[in-house]
Structure 1
């Protein structure tokens, strides 16, 4: 791997904050942290710019399950997009609020449409979509988008 060196001008307080972050996150040095930031930014930009890219990610929602028929509306939306909603995790946050994490997979535009629909549902306090990566490969004969052996039992 060929490496290039370059200089960066940065305010002292911003560098101090960055150094604390590097230590907290466990990066070996500034170069490792900067490489990770660049990789993430490039991935995010590539995925954002291609509505047809195959993506996988998580959608996190926090909502008040006592708010009218919110729980059933969220479930209905998830069923409407059942091909893209791979799995869900439901956690009772406190007496009123729930945390729901959905694993979503599919075309970028569809995954973002699902996310926008769920996050925009009245009663959802907070929502965030995190795209893990572009998949690149199509589903194989096993139905998975990655390749490995499936033993028959």
Structure 2
């Protein structure tokens, strides 16, 4: 994977690391329509941001992550694919199970929530190359009877770095850190 600059530290508002300071901020001015400004204010209120700037930083960070994901098919990712299944569609459950088994290298886990007598919400946790994960999601969402399919991708960087002072074995697993 080609090296790319990491997101500014100011994007990370949730934990004390990389907190925005005057020294590492770049001031930008934006103009918003009245309706969009009102929606931003509602978002600030609902998510309990301290300021519009914090909300805009998070929104930009989320948008950049989506953009990087779309541009990088070979990068590793973890993802959540969620969709609604209509069990009245003949053989759909079997097709989905076969598709998941055929891609067992990507499927980490799955869960089903029964919504009513005919519909279930399914959530599949995936990990692997972004291109393969996206292709799997596209194939599954294309099945007749699968609706409201949504894929949430997070780019990750493999490695064994951590803050634990004791040396320990990884026994075949690898650490996947979010790519910032």
TM-score by length of 1: 0.89
Residue 120 of structure 1 aligns with which residue? 142
Partners in 2 of 1:69 and 1:96 — Cα distance? 14
Matched, 1:142 2:167: no
Quote the offset at 1:122 in angstroms.
1.1
Mapped partners of 1:106, 1:146: distance in 2: 11
Partner of 1:90: 112
Following superposition, the deviation at residue 66 of structure 1 comes to 2.1
Structure with greater contact order relative to length (CA < 8 Å, sep ≥ 6): 1
| Residue number in structure 2 paired with 1:18 | 40
Aligned 8 A contact 1:84 1:111 in 2: yes
Structure 1 segments, 4+ long, off by >2 Å, are 138-142, 144-147
> Per-residue displacement from partner, 1:41-76 (whole Å, max 9, x unpaired)?
111111111110000010001011121000000000
Partners of 1:145 and 1:117 in 2: how far apart? Answer: 28
How many residues are matched?
A: 146
Q: Give RMSD over aligned pairs.
A: 1.6
Is the aligned partner of 1:72 residue 2:94? yes
2:135 and 2:141 map into 1 onto residues whose CA distance is 10
TM-score by length of 2: 0.76
Matched, 1:106 2:128: yes
